[in-house]
Structure 1
Amino acid sequence: MVLENTALPVIVVIAFNRPNSLSRILMSISKANYPSKNIDLVISIDKTDNNQNVLEIANKFNWNHGTKKVIYQSENLGLRKHIIKSMSIVHEYDSMIMLEDDLFVSPDYYNYTQQALNFSYNNDKIGGISLYNHQLNVYKDQNFTAIDDGFDNWYFQFASSWGQAWNVKHIKLFLEWYETNPEINALDVVPKYVRNWSDKSWLKYFISFVIIKNKYFMYPKISLTTNFGDQGVNMDMSNTYFQVPILNFYGKKYNFSKLEDSHSIYDAFYENLNLNETLGFQKEEITIDLYGYKNIFKRYLLSSQQHHYFIIKTFGRSFKPHDLNILYNIEGKDFYLYDTEVIAKNKFNSNPFYILDYNIKMISLPQAFSIFKFKFEQRLKIFLYNIFKRT
């Protein structure tokens, strides 16, 4: 018999010292659609000397869909400990939605979450549910889109922190692993970019857990949250890098794929895990590295990196997303299928502006100059901010 999680997920909002951010997320939550008047809201605020205005906003917020509870931590925990501690709230409800204060939710976020939790309830390969849909490879600062295989979800070996849901089993397994004090800094299976994140990050531990235990987060094709990138613990300056379109509709009936039926499954490096079948290799034989970020290779390697190995075949970069170029065998010399056991002296013609055009589509010369000027000034501000912050 297939069990179904029928409990109503509690909504947990994480806040610290951003009053405007908290007001915005609470406004979006209040305007969303809900199936019941028995949905609890918990607003958890980490302690600091100057956030009484945040506490006041939480206390005054009117929640019409159930019981509201405001928790003001008795000591300053820091983001990582605050999140980990707040995960334990799930034991009172069986499932939870966690939202940090710089997010904004779709009107359908609760409906999506309920359906996704119910759909995946008995699947031990699922480590959690993401409400956010990634459109940027954060390692390479390049566009990313999961292949559309006809379903409303895709799978990613990468935990979510910009709107996520768990049931009690997800949290229990993670915390059992986390409490062993795992050492992740030497794990090559965890992207170096992730391992280099600050010790304030709880997410790098959940990502590592998902990878080590060979689990996946279930992601939506259309995002149910977006990230305003407000200045805070993990953001030196506000930005719109992680803003994505959200579903402006409610009441959708979602068509989810099971892992075994999905053609949209990605590893922690944003690489399509089905491409080995397209090329006729077993997973153990080939490394897929279209973004050119990996540095440990199996015998066969499909990569955008230019290496002096024997080239078996090449592919172009025309289709978007770029993995479609492999699926449809598009001609060109942008991706290389290598045999790494055979050394060869290869000649490559590089055109970095082609990749720029591929990612941006079109940019005028005045726009290019303005972007260069803005980025230079922005990086300089961040550099100076970090210097003066330490003094």
Structure 2
Amino acid sequence: MPVNLVAPEAQSLLAVPGLKLGIAKARIRKPDRKDMLVMLLAEGSRVAGVFTKNRFCAAPVTLCKEHLAQPDGIRALVVNTGNANAGTGDQGMQNARATCDALADLLQIKPAQVLPFSTGVILEQLPIDRLIAGLPQCVADLQESHWFDAAEAIMTTDIVSKGTSRQITLDGKQVTITGISKGSGMIHPNMATMLGYIATDAAISQAALQALIDHAVNRSFNCITVDGDTSTNDSLILVATGKAGNSEITDTTSADYLTLRDAMTDVAVELAQAIVRDGEGATKFMTIQVEAGRDEDECRQVAYAIAHSPLIKTAFFASDPNLGRILAAIGYAGVDDLDVNSMQLYLGDVLVAEHGGRAVSYVEELGAAVMKESEITVRVVLNRGQASATVWTCDFSYDYVRINADYRS
């Protein structure tokens, strides 16, 4: 089961004025499951996105980047699960374009105003006939209140759906923020096998929205890892419909911008952490904090060395305080001039190592007590500067192997 994570209640996911969502069961891979989502955006909505850096990125990722660069604005998003449309060559791109053409025809917009997204099995052609046949069902189902169904429709190996909402006040107007995400395995920046969609009715300029997504993603989805595998399809989209009635935010130093940025970042962090909590087979949620580094990059290097180690992740699953494995990971993280005699390692509040070896005060019973918890913090103090970084990850259990061994069945 996911680590301290339950599906959101339907009523907790607040409608965002100017955005409607429609769901279909199109049998993309499995019968009788929600596997398609269409989002219809009000005219004039602003959209920003960030995508995987995997060189084998899926056809929809390439097409999304192309469509976001055109001047007519984005009016619709379409998502399918069950098939990633990645590693599919020219036919995959044709299928992605056919998806946009078909939805544009139904909505009476331009194909370039549609962003397509796919997630699921790689190296298999998209069943385009089934996908196109499902689009009218999605369009007929369009409602502002369908966020809960949308969160379920984008799931693959996720055990629970992921979504959250916030409301803030900008310029005297109530502003709503709602987001959903999916992801469970093949999770590692930049970004992961995840899809994330966060929408607000705030009025904000395109430049300010782009600055906001860059800030939010580097503090959320780019701080998570389940297994170190960077997916072909990961995408994060921010939508601002502008329907709240606030004065348009253009200044990224203004109080209203900072309030919106921080609220949307909080949503992004919650959605990103939910992906780790629902990591395939996860039983432990681990926060890796690296402090007092020379710069943020080296702090991340050390954090990810710890978070990616199968030896560390399996020890956490077993609640085994075999903490020398963490020291080994710090040592091979690539910080070539690290003085290991100057750093400290903590497990929770327990000092484990200092002066290059086991702390005098450390006894294994203290470490074992921390390891039994479902949420654990590993803190590394490098003592070589003022920078810090935090990464969230999970353990490796027997179920991780089972889920990935059976993924295509």
TM-score w.r.t. the length of structure 1 is 0.32
Higher relative contact order (CA 8 A, sep 6+): 2
More strand by share: 2
TM-score w.r.t. the length of structure 2 is 0.31
